[in-house]
Amino acid sequence: MCGVVGYIGSKEAAPILIDGLQRLEYRGYDSAGIAVLNGGKIVSDKEMGRLANLEKLLAKAPLAGSCGIGHTRWATHGAPSQLNSHPHFSSDGAIAVVHNGIIENYAELRNELAAKGHRFLSETDTETVPHLIEQELKEGAASPIEAVQRALKKLRGAYALGILFRDAPDTVYCARLGSPLIIGLGEKENFIASDVPAIINRISKAIYLNDGEMAVLRADSVEVCTIEGEAVEPEVKEISFKAEDAEHAGFETFMLKEIHEQPRVLRALLEKHVSADGTIEIGSGLSPDYFRKLRRIMIVSCGTAYHAGMYGKLLLENLTGIAVETDLASEFRYRDPKIDPGTLVIPVSQSGETADTLASIRMAKDWGCKIFSICNVEGSSVVRESDATFFTNCGPEIGVASTKAYTAQQMAFALFALYIAGVRGNLTPEQVKDYLDDLHEVPDAVHYVIQKKEEIRVIGEKHHDGPSSLYLGRKFNFPTALEGALKNKEISYQHAEGYAAGEMKHGPIALISEALPVICICTKTADEVYEKMLSNIKEVEARNGRIIAVATEGDTEIPKLAGDIIYVPEVRDEFTPMVNVVALQLLAYYAARARGTDIDKPRNLAKSVTVE
Ligand code: F6R
């Protein structure tokens, strides 16, 4: 989604804005622009495509000034073009605005403003904002802040806004509703950003604006108030991760770095939540008695986090006997799910800013449900709107395709399910300890798979060229099949479908030919699923499908069937998805590399989907 940055201090603003925008590149964008206050006027440059294009422009004609705003745009209203890029301006050029979000009533406002003589240059919803503020000044607003407040009250939708006024030197205005905005606090300089990584190299303290709040930033002060004008005493938070966490650290891409971080992330979660005597601490703020009486859980999330939710459902049902449902947040929010106040709702989100997930939380709260989220980003909207949060503590995930956040979400569910099973007596303390011993083997097993990346690379490169691929799995590894297919299509742009293997005969079997790579997740299990999966593989083999299997070390059946095999270490059935998916992340990674795609910033994708 769009990235917003802003700076006020004594340094040159343009290089700081560009650096911040570069650090937000991972969010996805199609054009970029900045505006800087320069001796009584606002100067600006915008360019289509990569930031490097804008940098070239600035290298030829630098924009001087120590107060500015910048933006990377991910087109929603109007095609990617220079005219549609931000910043957008008022008619007299005295107000510049950058915006992340969607102004839903922009058409109506635009008509009203056009009738009052405003001319619009772009097709964007954002351009109404500077014109509206300009109109408020014309109609008697006594100051920029009053004009902003009056304008904001007329907007419907979501926004994180950065605003400059030609006539308010050395001041950046900002406001937030429904889209994240952070104020970074420096020494005689202050920043705004839509995401911490944009400014993490410059600050260690930040204010997370709440919905309906705005702020006025000068080099040595930050004043926060509501859009109604009520002063707010902001909470200043220490940023818990370091600048290095948002760097490549020698890896060719962020995605590869983040795949490699998984053993460490999983180990750290185990260390944090399991004490030496085997007690699990999940920090739900809910009493053991609450869990003993709990009858229903509803998990809501999107994309990869939805696959983690599917895994969570299987595990929770299996270990706790509680009825668990999972749904895509975008579906959940528009159906009539018959949720009673006794249902525990678990939103899962890496970013904590996904619009549909947030809307689902708000609905569930209206129904009186408790919200216990699984989330990676401290201070994010999901965290702030939940009763309690299990933090996945992965550090910033910069690669657009989610990897470490996924396995950390799975680990969160594993710990949560074992905690509840212990509390409810579904498992004895000895059984919980057994499970925990097995869970502790997962980080090493993941590390082992990562060590095999060269073997996986060869397989990925061998099968990268076809138009399509099919991923099959069962039970705990059905979500793994969906996630493997999602990773592949996201970064390699090869069409990929994930299917429950038992569904194969009901349709997808028609696709099988010698041209179709079929990725079969068939690790050893204690129940009949392994045998069933073997039968499915035989069906693929009988139709000359190209079988790539993910199998357990030492398996003697799979080599008789599969052309290529990625062997993974044996772990307890329930925990195999955390290990198997890493093989599929790497497979997708190397297929994408062979196809020459932009792995960290795949086309059309945004890291954090803050609009519906
Ligand atoms: C896929 C991916 C997306 C996200 C989805 C939800 O690799 O990253 O599918 O999982 O957009 O995002 P969060 O977890 O931030 O709510």
What's the pLDDT tens digit per position in 271-302? 999 999 989 999 888 999 999 999 999 999 99
Distance 471 CA to ligand 1 centre (A): 19
Q: Is the pLDDT of residue 526 over 90?
A: no
What pLDDT is stored for residue 234 in this prediction? 94
What pLDDT is stored for residue 28 in this prediction? 74
**Tokens linked to 416:** 């949560």
Per-residue confidence band for 247, with pLDDT thresholds at 50, 70 and 90: confident
What are the catalytic residues?
Answer: 2, 607
Mean pLDDT of 200-219: 95
3-state helix, strand, coil in the chain (%, to 5): 40, 25, 35
Per-residue confidence band for 109, with pLDDT thresholds at 50, 70 and 90: very high
Instruction: Check for a shared fold between 248-440 and 450-612.
Output: yes
Burial per residue of 171-193, b for 16 or more beta-carbon CB atoms within 10 angstroms, e otherwise? bbbbbbbbbbbbbbbbeebbbbb
Dihedral sign from CA coordinates of 435, 486, 195, 13: positive
What's the pLDDT tens digit per position in 370-413? 999 999 998 888 998 999 999 999 999 999 999 999 999 999 99
**Tokens linked to 300:** 């809501």
Of all protein residues, the one whose alpha carbon is nearest to atom 11 of ligand 1 is 303
Distance 479 CA to ligand 1 centre (A): 14
What pLDDT is stored for residue 248 in this prediction? 81
Q: Is the pLDDT of residue 26 over 80?
A: no
Percent of the chain predicted with pLDDT > 70: 100
CATH of 3-246, picked from 3.60.20.10, 3.80.10.10, 3.30.70.580, 3.30.465.10, is 3.60.20.10
Atom of ligand 1 nearest to the CA of 302: 6
pTM of the model: 0.85
Mean pLDDT of 154-180: 95
- What ranges do the domains of the chain cover? 3-246, 248-440, 450-612
Q: Is the pLDDT of residue 10 over 80?
A: yes
Rg (CA), the chain: 26
What's the pLDDT tens digit per position in 411-439? 999 999 999 999 999 999 999 999 999 99
> Residue 462 is which amino acid?
K
What pLDDT is stored for residue 409 in this prediction? 98
What pLDDT is stored for residue 603 in this prediction? 86
Higher pLDDT, 101 or 520: 520
Atom of ligand 1 nearest to the CA of 350: 14
Average pLDDT, the chain: 94
Of all protein residues, the one whose alpha carbon is nearest to atom 10 of ligand 1 is 304
Of all protein residues, the one whose alpha carbon is nearest to atom 3 of ligand 1 is 303
Mean pLDDT of 111-121: 96
What pLDDT is stored for residue 426 in this prediction? 97
Of all protein residues, the one whose alpha carbon is nearest to atom 9 of ligand 1 is 303
Atom of ligand 1 nearest to the CA of 609: 11
Distance 80 CA to ligand 1 centre (A): 23
Classify domain 248-440 at the CATH topology level: Rossmann fold (3.40.50)
Which letter does DSSP use for residue 7 in this model? E
Per-residue confidence band for 242, with pLDDT thresholds at 50, 70 and 90: confident
Q: Is the pLDDT of residue 240 over 90?
A: no
Mean pLDDT of 74-95: 90
Mean pLDDT of 526-546: 93
Who lines ligand 1 at CB under 6 A?
Answer: 302-305, 349-351, 354, 357, 401-402, 486, 490, 608-609
What's the pLDDT tens digit per position in 480-502? 999 999 999 999 999 999 999 99
Of all protein residues, the one whose alpha carbon is nearest to atom 5 of ligand 1 is 303
Atom of ligand 1 nearest to the CA of 301: 16
SS3 392: coil
What's the pLDDT tens digit per position in 184-202? 999 999 999 998 889 999 9
Q: Evaluate whether the domain defined by 450-612 bears CATH number 1.10.3720.10.
A: no
Render 192-258 in DSSP notation, one character per residue. EESSGGGTTTT-SEEEEPPTTEEEEEETTEEEEEETT--EE-PPEEE--S-GGGGS-TT-SSHHHHH
What's the pLDDT tens digit per position in 31-57? 999 999 998 899 999 999 889 999 999
Distance 402 CA to ligand 1 centre (A): 6
What pLDDT is stored for residue 198 in this prediction? 93
What pLDDT is stored for residue 246 in this prediction? 76
What pLDDT is stored for residue 461 in this prediction? 95
Q: Are 396 and 197 in contact (CB under 8 A)?
A: yes
Per-residue confidence band for 602, with pLDDT thresholds at 50, 70 and 90: confident
Distance 316 CA to ligand 1 centre (A): 22
